[in-house]
Chains A and B, each alone.
Chain A
């Protein structure tokens, strides 16, 4: 079974608008961490935001926020006030328990239109 599911292969958003990228996860471990990474066309992986399973509040980092709904096992990324430079592939990833590795979703391509 897929540990991380990103159901939106591609999205378009108008500049200055907000966009929500979906991520659902599957784990039976009560301790886990959820990450979002951005991959521009140049290829590098840029860390955006982290949410721990025991965190009481949703994570925020500047224009990025994470809508964490534990009961639904979802960790959606919200990008507010989209900029042209936000056009990229976005990956949701999870680390379970004391596991070292990250498990990634298939990614969502975001294209910001002027």
Chain B
């Protein structure tokens, strides 16, 4: 069964460093998302992406964040200058069409020191 994959599974970085989180959505899916979950808290929406552009973003998704689909398979989230409060689990999700079910990847656990 096709699934969303994410790399790396864990990342430790120093405050102020740039990180790139990678996702490979399910191949015939057209809508892509990033969510994050700070330890012990609820899952929060960051950004949605469709047709090679951002379709919606939350107030969390400030200028430090960017997304890209550099080729036909990868979907990346870049955090330009990480802060301590960026430590969280980051989930990528994809869905086939609008208003369908979003399937989540296994997450990348990011720790900023």
A interface vs B, CB < 8 Å? Answer: 33, 35, 37, 42-47, 50, 91, 93, 95, 98-107
Most B-side CB within 10 Å, residue of A35, A47, A98: A47
Q: Hey, which chain A residues are within 8 Å of B103, CB to CB?
A: 47
A89 vs chain B, min Cβ distance (A): 10
Could you say which of B14-22, B42-50, B62-70, B71-79 contacts chain A? Answer: B42-50
Residues of chain A lying within 8 A (CB to CB) of residue B44? 104
When A and B form their complex, which 8 residue pairs have the shortest distance between CB atoms, in order from nearest? Answer: A45-B104, A101-B45, A100-B48, A104-B43, A44-B106, A104-B42, A100-B56, A106-B42
Query: Contact at B43–A47, with CB atoms within 8 Å?
Result: no
Q: Is the interface of B mostly helix, strand, loop or mixed?
A: strand
Nearest residue (CB) in A for B106 is A44
A47 and B42 within 8 A (CB) = no
User: Bound complex: CA of A35 vs CA of B100, how far in Å?
Assistant: 10
Query: Which B positions have Cβ atoms within 8 angstroms of A?
Result: 31, 33, 35, 41-45, 48, 50, 55-56, 58, 89, 91, 93, 98-99, 101-107, 109
How far apart sit A33 and B98, CA to CA, in the bound complex (Å)?
Answer: 12
Contact between chains at A47 and B102 (CB < 8 Å): yes
